[in-house]
Structure 1
Amino acid sequence: MDGERRGPGFWILAVFFTIFVLFLYGPLSTIFILSFQGPEGGLTFPMNGVSFRWFVNLFETQAVGDFGGAFSRSLVLGLMVMGATVVVSLLAGLAFRRPFFGSTPLFYTAIASLIVPSILVSLGIGLLFQVIGIRSAWYSSGFGAHLTWALPFGLLIMFAVFNRFNPSYEEAARDLGATPWQTFSHVVLPLILPSLIGVGLFGFTLSYDEFARTLMTSGSFNTLPLEIYGMTTNVTTPVLYALGTVTTGFSLLIIVLALGGIYLSQRSRRRAG
């Protein structure tokens, strides 16, 4: 089998995949390289020296932009959405394990926001807060808008997890005298923990880089995507690229931490088994 020659279909797909990877990561590579421009460097090639000048500039007082404030707001908002998505998705997944009246309409209502244009969701939530007399802010209306985007993904993941979940584990625990809470905490939760970490990762990343659903709901203070968008119209130095490199690195760090958490949970489960 190892000596068989690859057919033409394999090479066509290999070329297509290579082009796709270049198209996907080429712009990121360009931003990463240009963020190390020298002090006299500009926004385009060729590079004028190499330095960390623009990364240092991120932590200095800016004439335009509030990097620290925007980042902290996006971080807090992402953590809020992550926590709410994990809790609601878990409870919904448990509830939908057994059929109940109205479960089908409720399911489609919960995921309907995925097919509604994001800008309309943002506009609608912003108008709703205005009508009820509450001032729009990133931590209130922005939180609600982000939740309409992240929560359906969490629900779909947990529904798929519980559809494949073997109830015999719970039956065995109950036969051994475990209470419902003990069955959940010692049997169900360890088995679904990797999936819950994945739900949390979805919730955080979808909120952290969301632009359209934040546009009409953030109030007076920008989140990081809005701040970056605003900078594209008035910042003429590579500090914008440095910011992009830092935020991309932070996103990759979150993914690595999530994968590490999944690996540790699976390893502890194997040891327990």
Structure 2
Amino acid sequence: MQHGKRGPAFWLLGALFCLFVLFLYGPTLTILILSFQGPSGGLTFPMNGVSLHWFRNLFEKQMVGDFAGSLQRSLILGVAVMLVTVVASFSAGLAFRSRFRGSAVLFYLAIASLIVPSILISLGIGLLYRVLGWDPAWYSSAFGAHLTWTLPFGLLIMFAVFNRFDRRYEEAARDLGATSWQTIRHVVVPILLPSLIGVGLFGFTLSYDEFARSLYTAGTFNTLPLEIYGMTTNVTTPVLYALGTVTTGVSVLVIALSLLSVTWLRRRRTRHGSDAGKAA
């Protein structure tokens, strides 16, 4: 191993990396700091006191905006989209392991929405609902619009996962007398569970933060991204920053829970494998 002084290129690349990280997280850090201002605080520096006033104010009745309601709607919608994305992607992954008539056409139709501008999909679904005489709503039309965004990602992930899946595990389970359902439940799902958690994480975060596909499909009641957008021209207090801090915290919490779940599953699998080896 060679030891030597780091040259100018190292420090230049290090400085560029620090600037890149600052560019990514600087705005979020600024919002986080300003959200803890005192009751008489404004929207810019310098801060006027430090308190949790604006977080308490966030869930009180506002002159403009419905923070609590929009957050609740986005969470419910995100969880629903997550569940459907996981189930549909897993089922499609199982189905596409065997070629069938029209599989290529069905695949390209499933992922076509990735190349269509999101605003056009939102507009098209909103217009379709109005033509049919239905009222667009966050739990119906927006739910379908979000699935056009999350399902293609889920499908691509599961196709890649199943492409590397060793089917000898299934054959061994069937040789031991397991039915097809028992094989999926006790063999396939446990092995692919970390990947399913990843698909669920994609589904939730993509839905939770989605703006364009909600614009014409959310109906009367806004989801959280729409509420934040509408409030940027009306709210002149740090309560908007408090909302940004809370939504960022929710995203970080979801990611942390997913990583902890994957870590726990891997340790559990390793421990069971070690116990099985000792028993043998």
TM-score range, shorter chain: over 0.9
Deviation at 1:171, TM superposition (A): 1.6
Residues 62 and 104 (structure 1), Cα distance of their counterparts in 2 relative to 1, 3 Å cut: same
Q: Which residue of 1 aligns with 2:241?
A: 241
- Are 2:205 and 1:205 equivalent residues in the alignment? yes
Q: Which residue of 1 aligns with 2:257?
A: 257
Residues 170 and 248 (structure 1), Cα distance of their counterparts in 2 relative to 1, 3 Å cut: same
Deviation at 1:267, TM superposition (A): 2.1
1:84-163 correspondence runs (5 A): 84-163=84-163
Q: Which residue of 1 aligns with 2:61?
A: 61
Q: Which residue of 1 aligns with 2:278?
A: none
Task: Note if contact 1:136-1:219 (Cα within 8 Å) is conserved in structure 2.
Answer: yes
Deviation at 1:229, TM superposition (A): 0.6
Deviations 1:197-226 (A, max 9, x none): 010111011000100000000000000111
After the TM superposition, which of the residue ranges 77-86 and 179-188 deviates more from structure 2? 179-188
Deviation at 1:174, TM superposition (A): 1.8
Q: Which residue of 1 aligns with 2:277?
A: none
Residues 12 and 105 (structure 1), Cα distance of their counterparts in 2 relative to 1, 3 Å cut: farther
Deviation at 1:6, TM superposition (A): 4.6
1:21-36 correspondence runs (5 A): 21-36=21-36
Deviations 1:58-114 (A, max 9, x none): 122111111111011001100110011001000000001111111112111111111
- Are 2:57 and 1:48 equivalent residues in the alignment? no
Residue type at the aligned position of 2:49: G
Structure 2: tracts of 5 or more residues without a match:
274-280
Distance 2:230 2:8 in 1: 47
What is the TM-score normalised by the length of structure 2?
0.94
After the TM superposition, which of the residue ranges 70-79 and 171-180 deviates more from structure 2? 171-180
Residues 6 and 153 (structure 1), Cα distance of their counterparts in 2 relative to 1, 3 Å cut: farther
Aligned-partner SS, 2:25: helix
Deviation at 1:4, TM superposition (A): 5.0
Structure 1: tracts of 5 or more residues without a match:
none
Aligned-partner SS, 1:32: helix
After the TM superposition, which of the residue ranges 159-168 and 257-266 deviates more from structure 2? 257-266
Distance 2:141 2:5 in 1: 58
> Percent of aligned positions with the same letter in both sequences?
73
- Are 2:179 and 1:182 equivalent residues in the alignment? no
Q: Which residue of 2 aligns with 1:272?
A: 272
Distance 1:11 1:172 in 2: 55
Task: Note if contact 1:89-1:155 (Cα within 8 Å) is conserved in structure 2.
Answer: yes
Distance 2:178 2:91 in 1: 20
Q: Which residue of 1 aligns with 2:75?
A: 75
Residues 244 and 181 (structure 1), Cα distance of their counterparts in 2 relative to 1, 3 Å cut: same
What is the TM-score normalised by the length of structure 1?
0.96
After the TM superposition, which of the residue ranges 187-196 and 174-183 deviates more from structure 2? 174-183
Residues 190 and 25 (structure 1), Cα distance of their counterparts in 2 relative to 1, 3 Å cut: same
Distance 1:151 1:229 in 2: 25
Distance 2:138 2:32 in 1: 29
Deviation at 1:16, TM superposition (A): 2.6
Aligned-partner SS, 2:149: helix
Task: Note if contact 1:190-1:269 (Cα within 8 Å) is conserved in structure 2.
Answer: no
Residues 268 and 216 (structure 1), Cα distance of their counterparts in 2 relative to 1, 3 Å cut: same
After the TM superposition, which of the residue ranges 213-222 and 53-62 deviates more from structure 2? 53-62
